[in-house]
Chains A and B, each alone.
Chain A
Amino acid sequence: MLSVLEALVFSTLDYAPALVFAALGAVLSERSGVVNVGVEGMMRAGAFAAAVASLAVPTPLGVVCGMAAGAALAAVHGYLCIRWRSDQVVSGMALNLVALAGGTFLLEALWSPTGTPPIEQLHRWVLPGLDQVPLLRALSGHSSLTYLAAVLPFLFHFALFRTPVGLRVRAVGEKPAAAATLGLSVPALRYGCVVGSGLLAGLGGAALSTSTLDRFEHHMPAGLGFMAVAAMVFGRWTPLGAFGAAAFFALGNALRIGLASSAPGLVEVIPQGFLLTLPYALTLLVLAAQGKKGAAPAALGTPYQPEAR
């Protein structure tokens, strides 16, 4: 029993960084008033770029390339939504399609339809002392991204609610006209947040291909980006809330893996497909249970038009 629990915790921690970073990215963009359903595409770009770059350079550098790829895609989103005030949902979905098709095309053209060759995974840190204690052992042996994902939400939360920049970001997401009359630049703040959101989503994608696994697989991130957006909603647009929700969804995924491996008999009773849908069904259930509670930033999805005062 203990070992099952241990495996569950280990698997959750191994899988969570991707979701946590992406959910934080979604929070950052949406707090500034720009809807970001393109997280999925940005994750895919990040996962792909990180794996491909890591074939040539050390993996940590590859992770940075993954972040850059996510940010590049986010910059396009920002340009469309901020400069041209296009529909933010449509722009995000278009980017998802671009990333889906572009990744598949490059993969097939350069390697094989299923994935890239394996790369060197990010170093897994063994925590001395802890790795001998039963249960706590599960906390040891993860990549630096897992430990970063445990710290970053707190830093982000603090920055959003306790620093001048955080105050400005919240103001721009709630009432951009008020921020503008005070001499703040709404476009500059929103660009910053959207690109930052791409960096985080790219990092989340890179975590999948360099830390959780050791290659880019053709289906990555398999809807994790949408789960990250759901985590943001469930977390009521706060970094810590999104962190908690992302961790919960990661647990759901670990549960699926755990069920499949620890109780192989179950797979004969319950078709594999049902188990695969478990994390997604969990996401749906949680969102339905929460309903619409109106925690979203007031100006979310509304392009800012200076002349419409």
Chain B
Amino acid sequence: MQALDDASLEIRDGERLAVVGENGAGKTSLMNVLYGLYQPDRGEVRIGGEAVRLKSPKEALARGIGMVHQHFMLVPSLTVAENVVLGKEPARHGLFDLRAANEHVLATCRRFGFALDPEAPVESLSVGSQQKVEIVKALHRGARTLILDEPTAVLTPQEADELFAVARQLTAAGHTVIFISHKLKEVLAIATRIAVMRRGAVVADVAPGATSVKELAELMVRASPTPLSPSRVEREPPPGAQLPFSPSGAGGEPPPATRPPFSPSGVEGPSTSLRHARGERSSGSDQVEPRTPVLEVTDLTARGSRGRPALQGVSLTVAAGEIVGLAGVDGNGQRELAEVLTGLRPYDAGTFSLGGTVLCNPSPAALRQLGLAHVPEDRLKRAVVGPMSVEENVTLGRQHLPPFARGARIDFAGRRERAARLIADYDVRPPDPTARMVELSGGNQQKVVVARELDATPRLLVAVQPTRGLDVQAVAQVHARLRAERNRGCAVLVVSLDLDELLAVCDRLYVFFEGRVAGEIARARFDERFIGRLMLGARAETDTRD
């Protein structure tokens, strides 16, 4: 596959360059060329006017180019200092000079205005701090130019602000910083120059003062091939159709054949704006009022994977016809709660009921009987069997029930028919029920998972990071499905590390901090800053703020 197509990019000393573009536009590929991970088929990299061949990250580092990957390359059990110096250790008489390593980390932190404990194990740090460890590591190896791949994707708004401050310090000290980002708002706030990529090429080079989110978005997607089937676009020209990633969900509406018996026009109104649908919930005529609680959790206590307390008295409810989000920095108990609710993790104390049935450490099968659907975080690990076909995966969980089985035997015809219908409804590509799951892209795998789970018409849907790794089109489709389920009367619980996603789809939010609910916020009071503070441990009187 051709990831880059005649892309040219100039990077100037001491600037903060943002590289923006849709998934698959070639941003990461271009950076991987700079970092020596990919070799260009044609074209060259010039540094200071000199043409160079960067055959490995090591050579790129020797030229002063460092990269902070989206998934951190840190050894969790080692300390901050050990991670920083690994591979280039200060030594005295052949022994590892721990003191020199610690002092080096402290000096770098002081220089760029942040704090890290050099002796803390990396696994005990927040994501934001781990990112700083990565930056210190790159600097220790002599990086003058730092490439940050989607650096704010996992950060709270406050942590992102800190990162931006560090970036400013870096460029003030003469370093060059390159960001890859999806978040146009923050790109405008931090970058000194913005390069827009589309279909493997750099198509625009703009100054942040002379552009807007809207203009950047248009530059990113203009003339990109629409993956929507034409009939659907014609059928329902959505407001803002020129932006396929508007969460108004036009792309994700099911075709008429399977549309649930409610009006999909009630999903989101025209007031929806890019990425931040903030409007009140539209008042669809036949929408179920969120009154009947479906999921009720009281004082739930559970331990995490290492036996330490992960949930410390969590109480929450999710009612029919609402989307409730769990916000929080990674590792504050949201994941464990989702595992408890789906029967994958035992809990120690508290009560938990689904649809009025009080449960005691129920099995996943018992929960599914009661109407639970689960879109887990790690698709390939927990949702699908990679080497099996799409149609086989569609049957999992209901393999013993019609239309997938007849008595003790598999109903091959029924299974094929249902799989084909779901593939058509959800626009799974390739549209082949016998394709092996691993051959599908991440977005299409996720479509299969969502299709399977929603096909059972659940009462409660627990979706963990449902759009992780998907591109904007697929994100919009998944969000539209979540809204459609809500409007059908399903109780929807979404766990996500992406606050923007939660703000866009949820009617209500619980913010988690250290295994407790730090705050509960209704949509009308959504405020990114305030939620960010709760995520970092600020206490809030639930819902008393306006």
Contacts and interface: CB of A to CB of B under 8 A. Distances in A.
Contact of B96 (A163, A171, A174, A298): A163
Of the candidates B57, B61, B75, the one having the most CB atoms from chain A within 10 angstroms of its own CB is: B75
21 contacts: A162-B95, A162-B98, A167-B78, A167-B86, A167-B96, A168-B87, A170-B75, A170-B77, A171-B78, A171-B86, A174-B77, A175-B74, A177-B73, A178-B73, A178-B83, A179-B86, A179-B87, A182-B73, A182-B141, A183-B56, A294-B306
A183 B78 contact: no
Contacts of B98: 162
B381 to A, nearest CB: 14
A288 B384 CA distance: 34
A294 B91 CA distance: 31
Nearest to A166: B96
Contact of B87 (A174, A177, A184): A184
Contact of B73 (A170, A175, A294): A175
B392 interface: no
A95 B126 CA distance: 44
Contacts of B61: 183
B89 interface: yes
Contacts of B76: 174-175, 298
B86 A168 contact: yes
Interface string B82-112: 1100111101001110100000000000000
B58 interface: yes
A181 interface: yes
Interface string B55-85: 0111001000000010001111110001100
B57 A181 contact: yes
Interface string A90-131: 000000000000000000000000000000000000000000
Contacts of A181: 57, 69, 73
B86 A163 contact: no
Interface of A is mostly: helix
A183 B57 CA distance: 8
A181 to B, nearest CB: 5
A183 B306 contact: no
A177 B72 CA distance: 10
B75 A175 contact: yes
Interface string A172-214: 0011011101111000000000000000000000000000000
B74 A182 contact: no
Interface size class on chain B is: 20 to 34
Which 3 interchain pairs have the tightest Cβ spacing? A182-B87, A164-B89, A178-B73
B73 A183 contact: no
A30 to B, nearest CB: 14
B308 to A, nearest CB: 11
Given A162-B96, A164-B91, A294-B306, A182 B86 contact: yes
Interface of B: 56-58, 61, 69, 73-78, 82-83, 86-89, 91, 94-96, 98, 137, 141, 306
A260 B96 CA distance: 49
Task: Bin chain A's interface residue count.
Answer: 10 to 19
Given A163-B94, A163-B95, A167-B96, A178 B89 contact: no
B63 to A, nearest CB: 14
B130 to A, nearest CB: 12
Contacts of A166: 96
B422 to A, nearest CB: 30
Nearest to A161: B96
Nearest to A294: B306
Contacts of B95: 162-163
A208 to B, nearest CB: 34
A235 to B, nearest CB: 17
B442 to A, nearest CB: 15
Contacts of A162: 95-96, 98
Given A162-B95, A163-B94, A294-B306, A174 B86 contact: no
Interface string A219-231: 0000000000000
B121 to A, nearest CB: 11
Contacts of A177: 73
B67 to A, nearest CB: 8
Contact of B82 (A167, A183, A184, A298): A167
A163 to B, nearest CB: 5
A298 B78 CA distance: 12
Contacts of B77: 170, 174, 298
Contacts of B96: 162-164, 166-167
A295 to B, nearest CB: 10
A95 to B, nearest CB: 29
A171 B94 CA distance: 18
Contact of A167 (B56, B73, B74, B89): B89
A178 B138 CA distance: 12
Contacts of A175: 73-76
Which of A162, A179, A182, A184 has the most CB atoms of chain B within a 10 A radius of its CB? A182
Contacts of B137: 182
B514 to A, nearest CB: 21
Contacts of A163: 94-96
A167 B96 CA distance: 8
Contacts of B86: 167-168, 171, 178-179, 182, 184
A166 B306 CA distance: 26
Contacts of B75: 170-171, 174-175, 178-179
A178 B58 CA distance: 13
A175 B123 CA distance: 12
